[in-house]
Structure 1
Amino acid sequence: MKFLLAFQVLFVFGIWIVPSLTQKPWDSVARTEQWWIERHQQFIASSANLGSDIKIVFLGSSLVEYWGTQGKPVWDANYAPLGAINYGIGGDRTEHVIWRIDNGELDGLTPKLVVLYVGSNNVPVNSNNDEIVRGVNTVVDRLHAKLPNTNILLVATFPRADQSDVPGTLRRIRDIDQKLEALVGGDAQRKGNFIDLFWFLAPSSLDRIYEHLYVADKLHLNLDGYTMWHREMNSTFHRLIQ
């Protein structure tokens, strides 16, 4: 009986949820937190209300969400005037972003570009790098299926020093990023593009991060970090929105 219950599909807040024991990074899985469900509904409403005014979508996890806090001065000066919208939710993994794409957040939109940052939150949860790569690649697949005429710019996973084994974490991230670049970079069929900012945030020794670009948690960027992100992405970004 307990075995059956462990694999039972639950219905929470009107959304089908697969227990975490069975989740893979390429699954489509909703989170159960009420605030998360409300944020998702807000994004659906924004897409419905703004429609063709949305020219650029930033999609992903907290590093995207925090363009609205730590990175807000850069966002307001450079992205908001171009019709960009921020669909980042802190804590999201690939499976959650897949579910959001599948369930209405981008419906009715025809943006020129989606800037995607996702997968970092899978690193502490999923030990298999290839599974994380498959998860991120599935997000790209879903984006292209939903928005076939939209350019996709996948931003490589940033270094993070919030885990106990910093060198091991950084080596894993490099492996993931290199595999994703081979899959997504220059992918004309899916209109995929890849940008790697890793070496602006950590040295080649792979033993630390450049803490002056991070807030105290050693995971999220500060204003200087977001300024760097904008500066180094700028030429690719503008090429893709022409």
Structure 2
Amino acid sequence: MLQLMPLGDSITDGYNVPGGYRVNLFQKLAARGPGIDFVGSLSNGPAQLQDRDHEGRSGWRIDELAAQVNGWLDTYQPKTVLLMIGTNDILQNRDPANAPARLGALLDQMSTRRPDTQILVASLPPLADTAQNVWVERLNAALPALVETRADQGRKITFVNAGAALTTGDLADGVHPNAGGYSKLADAWYGALTGTPGALTP
């Protein structure tokens, strides 16, 4: 059984659309065969989502996730983590200029804690507010190099350009995806999982 942890904020939780991307992603993974176990201390989603566990913390920023993630990694020992975080740093105007540095530090923290865990880290979906979206674009632009630097050190970290799959037309409220947007995120995660060596190996 492969323990897979969806980790992030309300987009991982599935705000507006219960279960969010996790619904379609689990169905895609289940169609490949048994053996995937979503893990986390939270659980929610619709009836068609058979495995509802996750660690999507609505409203949380990078620093808040960093303060708690060691415990979750120790408890659930995920083989693979799907990480999407940073939107609330921008929405709350919490030093967005240094969000890439905080995210890099979080990746270091997680990969040091669990060196054998595959961390797939996603770019963020756009925000409808153009001023806020400038910070989204800056964070997304910084992510590939953040990941590459660490991958070159032998850390099991992979960049997933999930945010690029969405436009503001895929947002329900200017922030969170609508059903179509979550479906696109599920496709992006699935492509990354199946395309990253070892990401689906128990």
Q: Flag whether TM exceeds 0.5 (same fold).
A: yes
Cα distance in 2 for partners of 1:154, 1:72 equals 15
Match of 1:218 among 174, 183, 194: 174
The aligned residue for residue 5 of structure 2 is 57
1:201 has 2:166 as partner: yes
CA 1:168–1:83: 2 relative to 1, 3 Å: same
1:95 has 2:54 as partner: no
State the identity as a percent. Answer: 22
What is the number of equivalent residue pairs in this alignment?
A: 176
One-letter identity of the residue aligned with 1:90: S
SS at match of 2:82: strand
Cα distance in 1 for partners of 2:2, 2:8 equals 16
**Cα drift, residue 130 of structure 1:** 3.6
Cα distance in 2 for partners of 1:95, 1:106 equals 16
One-letter identity of the residue aligned with 1:223: A
Cα distance in 2 for partners of 1:178, 1:115 equals 19
One-letter identity of the residue aligned with 1:138: A
The aligned residue for residue 190 of structure 1 is 155
Cα distance in 1 for partners of 2:23, 2:143 equals 30
Cα distance in 1 for partners of 2:25, 2:163 equals 21
CA 1:185–1:65: 2 relative to 1, 3 Å: farther
One-letter identity of the residue aligned with 1:84: F
Q: Check conservation: 1:110, 1:149, Cα contact below 8 A.
A: no
The aligned residue for residue 200 of structure 2 is 241
Cα distance in 2 for partners of 1:123, 1:184 equals 20
Q: Check conservation: 2:4, 2:78, Cα contact below 8 A.
A: yes
Alpha-carbon displacement from aligned partner over 1:151-205 (angstroms, at most 9, x marks no partner): 11111111112xxxx2222222111111122111473222111112333222xxx
Structure (1 or 2) with the larger CA radius of gyration:
1
Q: Provide the TM-score with structure 1 as the length reference.
A: 0.65
CA 1:115–1:70: 2 relative to 1, 3 Å: closer
1:162-201 aligned at under 5 Å gives the runs 166-185=129-148, 187-188=150-151, 189-201=154-166
1:77 has 2:27 as partner: yes
Gaps of 5+ in 2: 40-53
1:152-167 aligned at under 5 Å gives the runs 152-161=119-128, 166-167=129-130
One-letter identity of the residue aligned with 2:9: S
Alpha-carbon displacement from aligned partner over 1:122-162 (angstroms, at most 9, x marks no partner): 0133364441111111211121122110111111111112x
Q: Check conservation: 1:58, 1:114, Cα contact below 8 A.
A: yes
SS at match of 1:83: strand
**Comparing 193-202 and 91-100, the one that deviates more:** 193-202
